């Protein structure tokens, strides 16, 4: 049986609030009966990305407030959260500047794995990752609402709900452990302890150091040094190096397996039917929201998708993107879209569908869906 995916089209043709995207989001949340997923007085983490200094394409706070309000209508107790992406205190300050704070959202905004990013619980993962550390505020919760800003990603090409759980619901460095014992970096660095550095290509511009969230890289004169203990293995330095002097050997197949294993590990901490997903297909830039910049969106806004099936919602999101034309004055404007491929796959040279197909093989959901227009 196909999973239902509800679709709020970004096009609005009537001058009436009830037909606006926000108005329709309110209406569908009312009709969906959130009591099916969340109980009265139940603490509900609203998992989302809280932004990054320099990056402004994130989910609009007014949409998040609609979700908060509807959870409160059923007398649940929501709080907005994410794991540490940059240093915890700075991440909260960034979230506040992005408009994610208790005053605008009417809900607490917290770091899921603590202000130092080390408050987590070890969970068994699959054959590739072995084990991961889940932030305590997610591990201890009995349910979760997942809000995902759809965009591109250097390793998975497409970033949606699967990537949001797989990477955002895992701590970077567990307390008293190395990243390789269960940190998020295990997904990025499957085949090496540290990024490879090519001295002949390096111009010592220090862009890698400027983008390192943990200040683990020092570039002085003709010297390039990485503090192994500080490094989270997030891979941002590799992505931003303009000369290609930094490199991490990464298999797309292994990365997709890692995403599926991590997602499965996260979902194993919840009972079935206790996680709901909302994908926001607005401002779909080529890079992840973790980067220190936001580029021009590569395709037009499509709208909002809602489902309780993580595979179905990402498949529906990618199908909408595949049908969309590249936007002029964007990184994708010169792309010639080939049948079955999307702009993110062509931009990053990796098939976006791989992660979805792998997640389906892991039994995390179905790619067979029914799109219900709202």
pLDDT digits (tens, 9 = 90+) for 148-188: 999 998 878 899 999 999 999 999 877 776 655 557 766 76
Residue that terminates a domain, selected from 225, 247, 269: 247
Tell me whether residue 39 is exposed, middle or buried, using C-beta atoms within 10 angstroms of its C-beta: 0 to 12, 13 to 18, 19 or more: middle
Alpha carbons 60 and 125: distance in angstroms, whole number: 33
Question: Are residues 145 and 45 located together in one domain of the fold?
Answer: yes
Tell me whether residue 193 is exposed, middle or buried, using C-beta atoms within 10 angstroms of its C-beta: 0 to 12, 13 to 18, 19 or more: exposed
Measured over the CA atoms of residue 148, residue 154, residue 158 and residue 164, the dihedral's sign is: negative
Q: Long-range contact list for 126-129, CB < 8 A, 24+ apart?
A: 126/257, 126/260, 126/261, 126/264, 126/265, 127/261, 128/190, 128/254, 128/257, 128/258, 128/261, 129/182, 129/186, 129/187, 129/258, 129/261, 129/262, 129/265
Question: Are residues 243 and 255 located together in one domain of the fold?
Answer: no
Question: Are residues 60 and 157 located together in one domain of the fold?
Answer: yes
- For the stretch 179-233, pLDDT in tens is 555 577 667 666 456 678 888 889 989 988 888 887 888 898 888 888 877 787 7
Give the mean pLDDT of 23-46.
97
Residue 272 per-residue DSSP state: T
CATH number of the domain to which 259 belongs: 3.40.50
Domains held by the chain: number: 2
Question: Are residues 280 and 349 located together in one domain of the fold?
Answer: yes
**Residue in the block written with tokens 């907005």:** 80
Q: Express as a percent the part of the chain with pLDDT over 70.
A: 94
CATH number of the domain to which 234 belongs: 3.30.70.20
- CA distances from residue 358 to 21, 262, 352 in whole angstroms, order as listed: 32, 12, 11
Question: Are residues 119 and 235 located together in one domain of the fold?
Answer: no
Question: Are residues 289 and 275 located together in one domain of the fold?
Answer: yes
Q: Is the pLDDT of residue 295 over 80?
A: yes
Q: Is the pLDDT of residue 305 over 70?
A: yes
Q: Is the pLDDT of residue 306 over 70?
A: yes
Residue that terminates a domain, selected from 228, 247, 266: 247
Q: Express as a percent the part of the chain with pLDDT over 90.
A: 67
Q: Identify the domain containing residue 11 by its residue range.
A: 3-185+251-373
Residue that terminates a domain, selected from 223, 247, 271: 247
Q: Is the pLDDT of residue 250 over 70?
A: no
Question: Are residues 86 and 228 located together in one domain of the fold?
Answer: no
Residue 18 per-residue DSSP state: G
Question: Are residues 125 and 165 located together in one domain of the fold?
Answer: yes
Question: Are residues 314 and 209 located together in one domain of the fold?
Answer: no
Alpha carbons 224 and 218: distance in angstroms, whole number: 6
Question: Are residues 219 and 356 located together in one domain of the fold?
Answer: no
- For the stretch 76-107, pLDDT in tens is 999 999 999 888 999 999 999 999 999 999 99
Res 69: pLDDT: 98
Question: Are residues 91 and 19 located together in one domain of the fold?
Answer: yes
Question: Are residues 216 and 270 located together in one domain of the fold?
Answer: no
Give the mean pLDDT of 57-80.
97
């Amino acid at each position: 049986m196909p999973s239902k995916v509800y679709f709020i089209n970004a096009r609005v043709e009537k001058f009436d609030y009830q037909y606006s995207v926000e108005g329709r989001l309110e209406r569908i949340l009312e009709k969906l009966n959130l009591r099916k997923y969340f109980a009265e007085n139940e603490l509900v983490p609203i998992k989302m990305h809280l932004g990054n200094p320099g990056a402004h394409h994130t989910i609009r706070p007014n949409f998040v407030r609609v979700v908060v309000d509807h959870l409160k209508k059923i007398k649940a107790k929501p709080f907005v959260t994410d794991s540490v992406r940059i240093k915890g205190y700075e991440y909260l300050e960034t979230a506040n500047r992005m408009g994610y704070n208790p005053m605008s959202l009417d809900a607490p905004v917290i770091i899921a794995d603590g202000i130092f990013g080390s408050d987590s619980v070890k969970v068994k993962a699959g054959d590739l990752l072995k084990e991961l550390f889940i932030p305590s505020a997610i591990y201890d919760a009995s349910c979760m609402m997942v809000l995902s800003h759809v965009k591109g990603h250097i390793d998975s090409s497409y970033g949606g709900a699967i990537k949001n759980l797989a990477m955002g619901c895992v701590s970077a460095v567990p307390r008293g452990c190395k990243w390789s014992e269960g940190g998020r970096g295990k997904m990025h660095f499957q085949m090496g302890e540290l990024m490879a550095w090519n001295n002949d290509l390096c111009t010592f511009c220090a862009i890698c150091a400027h983008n390192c969230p943990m200040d683990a890289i020092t570039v002085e004169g003709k010297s390039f040094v990485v503090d192994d203990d500080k490094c989270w293995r997030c891979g941002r330095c590799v992505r931003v190096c303009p000369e290609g002097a930094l490199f991490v050997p990464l298999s797309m197949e292994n990365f997709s397996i890692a995403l599926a294993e991590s997602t499965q590990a996260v979902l194993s901490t919840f009972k079935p039917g206790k996680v709901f997903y909302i994908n926001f297909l607005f401002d779909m830039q080529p890079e992840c929201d973790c980067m220190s910049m936001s580029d021009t969106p590569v395709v037009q806004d499509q709208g909002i998708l809602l489902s309780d099936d993580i595979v179905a919602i990402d498949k529906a999101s990618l199908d909408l993107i595949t049908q969309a034309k590249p936007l002029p004055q964007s990184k994708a404007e010169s792309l010639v879209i080939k049948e079955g491929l999307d702009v993110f796959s062509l931009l990053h040279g990796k098939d976006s569908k791989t992660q979805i197909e792998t997640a389906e093989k892991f039994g995390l959901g179905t790619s067979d869906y029914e799109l219900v227009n709202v």
